[in-house]
Amino acid sequence: MLGAAVSYRLDKWGKESLEYRYYISLAELNENRFARAVRGHWRIGNSLHWVLDVLINEDASLICRGEAAEILCCMRHIALNILHTEKTRKASIWRRRKLSSMNSTYLEQILAVGFSSLVEKWVCVFSP
């Protein structure tokens, strides 16, 4: 099945624009299922980007030399995953990040929990 999604935008200055995105699917989709699939596809990327931008301010990064931007992107993902694994405090990810920057003991605790869960996952994957 071939499908096209058309997006209409009107910015705050009154400029109108249309954007066409084309999709190929092996599934036979009616209009409603196609619309849900397109929205679902963009929701995954947008939610991850939103988290990285709001919590880590990724969009403000001006690093663009060589592969540094990709390396830092990977480091941000690792940091976010480690912050998600630490559950001893009932605090948001943003708060855990802030607390870890002010308290080295808490930072060590977060890193210990994060790396131990990483090692557990690796052992499960690579053990015979």
Are 71 and 121 in a shared domain? yes
Considering the chain, what is the average pLDDT of its residues? Answer: 81
Q: What is the number of helices (H) and of strands (E) in the chain? A: 4, 2
Whole-number pLDDT of residue 127: 57
Whole-number pLDDT of residue 16: 93
Phi-psi region of 86 (alpha: psi -120 to 50; beta: other; left: phi over 0): beta
Distance CA 38, CA 55 (A): 26
User: Residue 21: CB partners within 8 Å, gap ≥ 6?
Assistant: 4, 5, 7, 38
Range of the domain at 87: 61-126
Question: In this structure, are residues 83 and 97 in contact, taking their beta carbons and an 8 Å threshold?
Answer: yes
Distance CA 94, CA 71 (A): 22
Last residue of a domain, one of 15, 30, 56: 56
Phi-psi region of 112 (alpha: psi -120 to 50; beta: other; left: phi over 0): alpha
Per-residue pLDDT tens for 9-66?
888 889 999 989 888 888 888 989 888 888 876 665 556 677 777 777 777 778 888 8
Are 46 and 95 in a shared domain? no
Tally of domains within the chain: 2
Are 50 and 68 in a shared domain? no
